[in-house]
């Protein structure tokens, strides 16, 4: 049996053809990174317009590369939450059109669940139950995952997502977008102990939430001084930029690693699955691998190409297919971001 998955939740237009045994017959991703680079972040209106231009060619390429016909498909799956409203709409309309035209089942995909499921794809075996840590430009969340389709929110960011903080700090350091890989490269030349930036909620094991706003402000103050807003004519020496990048990255990684460990202890689980664009960060991966050996848990993450948005992680749709969980053709999108949970006292 064959399934096509469609992903358009933010700024990547993607499709993949996946067999029910998990074999990936094709995958196509059309990136918008260059389109948004001059703005220092994703512009929703531009993203949705780009999806409209690319969605049909991407689906066509995925089908051709799989060496099948559209009529060979047994189901179509699409990300319908969460994400940017206009971007999600393009993918949902395309998927509903395919389902209606071909007379095949329509399956919805939760983008966050799919990021955790990418760890299952990479591992080639079951990783559930687990604690799921999703770290990206739009999300920083911890979940207790009893099953691929059963998630309970433990905590989330109360302000910026970690990836968003990387982008904003990169802009302060006069580094190009996207911020994550550019800060990582700059940090390789710096001292991660040069500045001790704040680590909000790190020492509160009852609070599973995150906050990166104070960290961002601390970087700003280090660069321009307290109370000043302008970066005009700011001259940053090469070593200072590298040291701030390294110290900022160290603070983010430290918080993510500690909160993940606290979540494992709180839930009693032994598996940690980490997904999302920030999961591609080499320093984070190395820290979590060390912590897994030191504290006795199993760490799973996806290969770099499956950390950023893609349609392969849409293989989670087979879980819903087998459970008979299909959607009507009035399927809508849900753009909202999952909010932080309240800590239990």
The average pLDDT across 29-34 equals 92
| Distance (Å, whole) CA 61 – CA 313 | 18
Sheet holding 75-81, edge to edge: 24-31, 12-19, 2-7, 75-81, 106-110
**Residue 139: is the preceding peptide bond cis (ω within 30°)?**
no
CATH superfamily of 125-306: ATPase, nucleotide binding domain (3.30.420.40)
* Residue 220 buriedness (CB in 10 A; 0-12 / 13-18 / 19+): middle
Determine how many CB atoms are found less than 10 A away from the CB of residue 49. 16
| Distance (Å, whole) CA 82 – CA 221 | 33
Whole-Å CA distances, 139 to 36, 146, 261, 335? 19, 20, 18, 13
The pair of structure tokens assigned to 240 is: 């200072």
Any alpha helices (H) in 11-84, and if so which ranges?
Answer: 33-37, 44-65
Share of the chain above pLDDT 90, in %: 90
Residues whose CB is less than 8 angstroms from the CB of residue 257 and which lie 6 or more positions away in sequence, other chains included? 284, 287, 288, 291
pLDDT at 165: 97
Query: Is pLDDT larger for residue 53 or for residue 38?
Result: 53
Write the pLDDT tens digit of every residue in 178-220.
999 999 999 999 999 999 999 999 999 999 999 999 999 999 9
| Distance (Å, whole) CA 304 – CA 277 | 8
Write the pLDDT tens digit of every residue in 238-288.
899 999 999 999 999 999 999 999 999 999 999 999 999 999 999 999 999
The average pLDDT across 100-117 equals 97
Write the pLDDT tens digit of every residue in 4-21.
999 999 999 999 999 999
pLDDT at 33: 87
151 beta partners: 145
6 beta partners: 15, 78
The reply to whether 2-114+309-322 and 125-306 are identical in fold is yes
| Distance (Å, whole) CA 133 – CA 208 | 11
Determine how many CB atoms are found less than 10 A away from the CB of residue 101. 11
Question: 215 near 252, Cβ under 8 Å?
Answer: yes
Instruction: State which fold the 2-114+309-322 domain adopts.
Output: Nucleotidyltransferase; domain 5 (3.30.420)
**Is pLDDT at 343 greater than 60 in this prediction?**
no
Whole-Å CA distances, 336 to 34, 45, 81, 102, 278? 26, 17, 8, 30, 20
The average pLDDT across 87-101 equals 98
Any alpha helices (H) in the chain, and if so which ranges?
Answer: 33-37, 44-65, 85-102, 111-123, 162-172, 179-187, 213-224, 238-267, 282-295, 317-322
**Is pLDDT at 230 greater than 80 in this prediction?**
no
Write the pLDDT tens digit of every residue in 300-323.
999 999 999 999 999 999 999 999
Share of the chain above pLDDT 70, in %: 95
Domain-by-domain residue ranges, the chain?
2-114+309-322, 125-306
Write the pLDDT tens digit of every residue in 133-157.
999 999 999 999 999 999 999 999 9
């Amino acid at each position: 049996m064959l399934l096509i998955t469609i992903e358009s939740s933010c700024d990547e237009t993607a499709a993949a053809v996946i067999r029910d045994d998990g074999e990936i017959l094709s995958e196509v991703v059309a990136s918008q990174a260059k389109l948004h680079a001059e703005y220092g972040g994703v512009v929703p209106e531009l993203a949705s317009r780009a999806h409209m231009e690319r969605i049909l060619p991407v689906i066509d390429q995925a089908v051709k590369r799989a060496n099948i016909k559209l009529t060979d498909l047994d189901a179509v799956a699409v990300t319908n939450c969460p994400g940017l409203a206009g971007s999600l709409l393009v993918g949902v309309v395309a998927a509903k059109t395919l389902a209606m035209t071909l007379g095949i089942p329509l399956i919805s995909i939760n983008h966050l669940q799919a990021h955790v499921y990418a760890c299952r794809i990479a591992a080639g075996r079951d990783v559930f139950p687990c604690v799921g840590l999703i770290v990206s430009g739009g999300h920083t969340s911890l979940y207790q995952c009893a099953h691929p389709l059963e998630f309970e929110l433990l905590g989330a960011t109360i302000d910026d997502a970690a990836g968003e903080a990387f982008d904003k700090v990169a802009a302060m350091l006069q580094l190009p977008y996207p911020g994550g890989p550019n800060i990582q490269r700059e940090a390789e030349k710096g001292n991660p102990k040069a500045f001790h930036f704040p680590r909000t909620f790190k020492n509160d094991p009852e609070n599973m939430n995150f906050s990166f706003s104070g960290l961002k402000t601390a970087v700003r103050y280090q660069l321009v001084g307290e109370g000043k807003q302008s970066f005009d004519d700011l001259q940053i020496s090469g070593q200072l930029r590298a040291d701030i990048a390294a110290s900022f990255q160290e603070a983010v990684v430290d918080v993510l690693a500690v909160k993940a460990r606290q979540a494992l202890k709180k839930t009693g689980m032994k598996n940690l699955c980490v997904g999302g664009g920030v999961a591609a960060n080499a320093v984070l991966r190395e820290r979590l691998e060390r912590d897994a050996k030191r504290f006795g848990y199993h760490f799973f993450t996806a290969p770099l190409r499956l950390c950023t948005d893609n349609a392969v992680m849409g293989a989670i749709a087979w879980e819903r297919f087998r459970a008979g969980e299909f959607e009507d053709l009035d399927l809508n999108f849900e753009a909202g971001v999952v909010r932080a949970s309240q800590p239990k006292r």
